[in-house]
Amino acid sequence: MAEGIPCRLSRSGSASASQFASRLDPLMRIETLKLENFRCYGPETTCIHLVNLTTVIGANGSGKTAVLLALARLFGITSDERRIVPEDFHVPPGEELSAVPERRLAIELRASFPELDRGELTLAVPECFQQMAVDEPDGGPFCRIRLEATWTRGLGQAGFVEERISWICSDAEVPAQEDVRPMRPHERARFQVIYVPAARDPSRQLRNVRGTLLARLLNAVQWSESPAEAIGGAAEAIENLFGKERGIELIHEHLEKNWLGLHDGEHYRRPRLRFAISRIEEILRNAEMAFGTSEVGDKHDAGRLSDGLRSLFYFALVGSIFDIEQAAVTAVLGDPAAAGETRPLALDPHLAPILTVFAIEEPENHLSPHFLGRIMALLQRIATLPGAQVVLTSHSASIVGRVEPTDIRHVFFQKDRGLTAIRSIQMPEAGDEAFKFVREAVRSYPELYFARFVVLCEGDSEEILIPRLAQSHALDIDRSFVCVVPLGGRHVNHFWRLLQSLCIPYITLLDLDRERDGGGWGRVKYVCKQLIAAGFDRDKVLEIEDGTTLDDDDFDGMHTWDVTDHELMGGWIRALEDFDVFFSSPLDIDFLMLEAHPEAYKSVAGEGMGPRVPSDEAKLGAYMADVRAAVLGESASGETYSTNQEALFPWYRYLFLNKGKPTTHLAALISSVDVGGYDEAPAVLQRLVDRIKVALDPSGAER
């Protein structure tokens, strides 16, 4: 460990069994994984921050698998998983692997020890003590492990690959030679990565587990004398039973005759067929999984399971093996004095893995959607156990919706550079109302992570109308991976930041709500403030006609500006469209569509149905005042609305406030093709659809 820098390292004793089993922090945790020239990750170091359960998401071919392969190259449970192959070396676009005589790659992890923060010393610390480093006074110790490989061009196409795995006992980016120590095979074996690929062969994976993880448990079983005696006696009885058969005797006679004609030694004189296995070790080598419908029912081997059931069983088997190992190690650590006692499993805690990483690629493969919740519950439980960490990849909204946004890492392929980049999800400060809102919104609409374009809007009405309008303009929302996310107009700047960080283009459609509380100029001011908060240039956002910028005093008072000045407000509304913010004006998209297609929406009510507008002039004034208050609010005068617009207020209340908005729009779309037509749509919605189309296909903007 680096000298001269104090660190938090306590030797106050091991935790009790109950403490060890109940903690939610791991004994050791990988904090970061760094990749250099590994597959689609280029020469610039890519740093991936990992947590207990990290979910890596992104489009197909974006580089998710490479993250899991990097972990497998470090500590895979089979030699094939650990072996660096020529395909692992990054090759720039347009080049061949053999274009240069030599290529290098590096995979490095940094791990911390949360147990030290609790003043505990368990498995992980002693194993790594000599390799620890600290990077600041009184800082927590960490260790670094680096796998480096070099590909050298040879006579064959494959070339030659040399690799080296080392401890880095320093926090320096380029460590001194004395701080680099080879990692010995038995040290490497204390870490394991259980890699489950997406294109999985469940049968092969079961064989891998049976030959490695499960074999370790079976070999640790402390057999009593009675099974061994019973096996020996049963084997002898079977041999005698078969040996008495005349056909077997005849085979033995001819074998012995011909054998002795060739071999006349005293040893090995009598060849005999053996029909029973007499040793426990031989039986274990041939052990297989079988499934029965009951305790005494028929047994079926694993080969009869469907791919989906095999995948499920693989997860169950791996989880069970890990649980058993953890329980056995916990029992010994919790009571060191009893370590020599006979236990069902004689697992040496000093040989058990100090860290197991479950690298799960697209768990949704082979499985019905309703199983995903169970798989995620299992992985989330494993991730909370000491000595375990989970990294999974997915492009399933069902999976992503079940994990915390802060635990998501988004990968995207940069076509212009031929490289993959990865980013964490930017969220508001934890504890804020904005954090809670954004967290729940992205968990409710996880599709936005996989979108090519996102439309942020107010509510359910936009979710129904925008796809239909786009479709009528030769833009299929689903095929184009456009996601419509209703936000109710809240915390939009946080969503803008989120989408900017994910490099996903977006557009925003909000209600103007003129004369409603907070609407009109208040809504324009709100959007300007949100744009500035999201990082847009203040001078550009608040630029006025003469090229100058609105001063602070005027901007602070914008919400008090004259709401009847339609020309001024319209200018600001159109200016904000340059920032991809559109308004349903003068009220919301429901009123906008009702105004554009009044007869189609009125027909939704049915023959003879609709608002009961009094014909008596004396009663009409009070009725309209009541309707106006319901539509705009008690303090609204309605003076900014035309006579024709006010005449639609009763219908607006009847169709959208007294009934479900989505139901009304769906009925109108069915009753009239014009409602969903681009050519008959309000101008602002035409401009919005045009902007989406250009963003998705700039070259087709004029087509």
Tokens of residue 178, six digits? 């004395």
- 437 and 584 together in one domain: yes
Measured CA to CA in angstroms, residue 427 lies from 424, 440, 441 at distances of 9, 11, 12
- How many domains does the chain fold into? 2
- What are the phi and psi torsion angles at 245 (to 5°)? -70, 135
> Can you tell me which residue has the tokens 């080598």?
285
Task: Give the residue-averaged pLDDT of 239-246.
Answer: 85
Instruction: Give the number of other Cβ atoms within 10 Å of residue 645's Cβ.
Output: 16
Instruction: Give the number of other Cβ atoms within 10 Å of residue 660's Cβ.
Output: 11
Encode 492-522: b = buried (16+ Cβ within 10 Å), e = exposed: bbbbbbbbeebebbbbbbbbbbbbbeebbbb
H or E element in which residue 229 lies? helix 225-243
Tokens of residue 411, six digits? 């990968």
By percentage, how much of the chain surpasses pLDDT 70?
87
Task: Tell me which residue range forms the domain holding 601.
Answer: 426-700
**If pLDDT is split at 50, 70 and 90, which confidence band does 221 have?**
confident
Higher pLDDT, 301 or 166: 166
Residue 208 clears pLDDT 70, i.e. is over it: no
Whole-prediction pTM value? 0.81
CB of 375 closer than 8 Å to CB of 315: yes
Taking 3-state DSSP, the helix, strand and coil percentages for the chain, each rounded to the nearest 5, stand at: 45, 15, 40
**Distance of alpha carbon 697 from alpha carbon 687, whole angstroms:** 15
Q: Is 227 helix (H, G, I), strand (E, B) or coil?
A: helix
Instruction: Please indicate, yes or no, if residue 500 is contained in any of the structural domains.
Output: yes
- The runs of H, that is alpha helices, within 23-140 are 64-75, 79-82, 124-128
Residue 461 clears pLDDT 70, i.e. is over it: yes
- 490 and 624 together in one domain: yes
**Distance of alpha carbon 94 from alpha carbon 82, whole angstroms:** 28
Higher pLDDT, 219 or 190: 190
User: Distance of alpha carbon 66 from its chain centroid, rounded?
Assistant: 14
Higher pLDDT, 240 or 116: 240
**pLDDT attached to residue 17:** 34
**If pLDDT is split at 50, 70 and 90, which confidence band does 702 have?**
very low
**Distance of alpha carbon 231 from alpha carbon 233, whole angstroms:** 5
**pLDDT attached to residue 151:** 97
Tokens of residue 249, six digits? 């005797």
**Distance of alpha carbon 341 from alpha carbon 485, whole angstroms:** 61
Pick from 354-358, 377-381, 489-493, 600-604: least confident: 489-493
**pLDDT attached to residue 454:** 95
**Distance of alpha carbon 595 from alpha carbon 531, whole angstroms:** 30
Instruction: Please indicate, yes or no, if residue 464 is contained in any of the structural domains.
Output: yes
**pLDDT attached to residue 210:** 61
Instruction: Please indicate, yes or no, if residue 342 is contained in any of the structural domains.
Output: no
Task: Give the residue-averaged pLDDT of 410-428.
Answer: 87
Q: Is 206 helix (H, G, I), strand (E, B) or coil?
A: helix
Average pLDDT score, the chain: 85
Residue 21 clears pLDDT 80, i.e. is over it: no
Instruction: Please indicate, yes or no, if residue 260 is contained in any of the structural domains.
Output: yes
* Rounded CA Rg of the chain: 35
- 523 and 663 together in one domain: yes
Residue 668 clears pLDDT 60, i.e. is over it: yes
- 298 and 431 together in one domain: no
**pLDDT attached to residue 311:** 79
**pLDDT attached to residue 31:** 96
Closest Cα partner for 175 from 77, 100, 108, 98? 108
pLDDT tens for each residue of 559-595: 999 999 999 999 999 999 999 999 999 999 999 999 9
Final residue of a domain: which of 304, 335, 353? 304
> How many residues are listed for the chain in this entry?
703
CA contacts within 13 A on the Cβ side of 467: 17
Instruction: Please indicate, yes or no, if residue 585 is contained in any of the structural domains.
Output: yes
Q: Is 588 helix (H, G, I), strand (E, B) or coil?
A: coil
**Distance of alpha carbon 122 from alpha carbon 513, whole angstroms:** 62
**pLDDT attached to residue 20:** 35
pLDDT tens for each residue of 70-95: 999 999 988 999 999 999 999 999 89
Instruction: Give the number of other Cβ atoms within 10 Å of residue 692's Cβ.
Output: 25
- 433 and 284 together in one domain: no
Pairing between β-strand 53-57 and β-strand 408-414 as defined by DSSP bridges: parallel
Q: If you write DSSP's letter for every residue of 376-406 in order, what string do you get?
A: HHHHHHHHTSTTEEEEEEE--HHHHTTS-GG
Residue 12 clears pLDDT 50, i.e. is over it: no
H or E element in which residue 308 lies? helix 307-334
Residue 686 clears pLDDT 60, i.e. is over it: yes
pLDDT tens for each residue of 22-76: 333 457 899 999 999 999 999 999 999 999 999 999 888 899 999 999 999 999 9
Residue 300 clears pLDDT 90, i.e. is over it: no
Instruction: Please indicate, yes or no, if residue 35 is contained in any of the structural domains.
Output: no
- What are the phi and psi torsion angles at 253 (to 5°)? -60, -45
**Distance of alpha carbon 209 from alpha carbon 192, whole angstroms:** 12
Instruction: Give the number of other Cβ atoms within 10 Å of residue 487's Cβ.
Output: 20
Higher pLDDT, 265 or 499: 499
Final residue of a domain: which of 288, 304, 320? 304
**pLDDT attached to residue 484:** 93
Sign of the torsion angle spanned by Cα atoms 74, 76, 82, 85:
negative
Q: Is 360 helix (H, G, I), strand (E, B) or coil?
A: strand
**Distance of alpha carbon 100 from alpha carbon 122, whole angstroms:** 47
Final residue of a domain: which of 304, 323, 341? 304
**Distance of alpha carbon 584 from alpha carbon 509, whole angstroms:** 7
Which amino acid appears at position 6 of this protein?
Answer: P
**pLDDT attached to residue 369:** 80
Residue 236 clears pLDDT 70, i.e. is over it: yes
CB of 537 closer than 8 Å to CB of 528: no
User: Residue 421's beta-bridge partner residues?
Assistant: 412
Closest Cα partner for 57 from 482, 454, 451? 451
**If pLDDT is split at 50, 70 and 90, which confidence band does 628 have?**
very high
**pLDDT attached to residue 377:** 92
**If pLDDT is split at 50, 70 and 90, which confidence band does 354 have?**
confident
**pLDDT attached to residue 379:** 93
CB of 133 closer than 8 Å to CB of 113: no
Measured CA to CA in angstroms, residue 674 lies from 132, 585, 600, 663 at distances of 70, 20, 8, 17
**pLDDT attached to residue 9:** 41
CB of 509 closer than 8 Å to CB of 488: no
**pLDDT attached to residue 48:** 97
Instruction: Please indicate, yes or no, if residue 618 is contained in any of the structural domains.
Output: yes
Higher pLDDT, 325 or 557: 557
Closest Cα partner for 140 from 7, 6, 5, 1? 7
* DSSP 8-state secondary structure symbol assigned to residue 429: P
**pLDDT attached to residue 216:** 75
Tokens of residue 127, six digits? 């194993």
Which amino acid appears at position 492 of this protein?
Answer: V
Closest Cα partner for 216 from 310, 322, 290? 322
User: Residue 453's beta-bridge partner residues?
Assistant: 482
Task: Give the residue-averaged pLDDT of 352-368.
Answer: 87
**Distance of alpha carbon 5 from alpha carbon 139, whole angstroms:** 8
Q: If you write DSSP's letter for every residue of 520-563 in order, what string do you get?
A: THHHHHHHHHHHHHTT--HHHHTB-TTS-B--HHHHHTGGGS-T
Could you give the angle at the alpha carbon of 402 between the alpha carbons of 396 and 407, nearest 5°? 95
pLDDT tens for each residue of 504-535: 999 999 999 999 999 999 999 999 999 999 99
**pLDDT attached to residue 656:** 95
Q: What do you get for the CA distance between the two ends of the chain, in Å?
A: 66
**Distance of alpha carbon 600 from alpha carbon 465, whole angstroms:** 14
Instruction: Please indicate, yes or no, if residue 577 is contained in any of the structural domains.
Output: yes
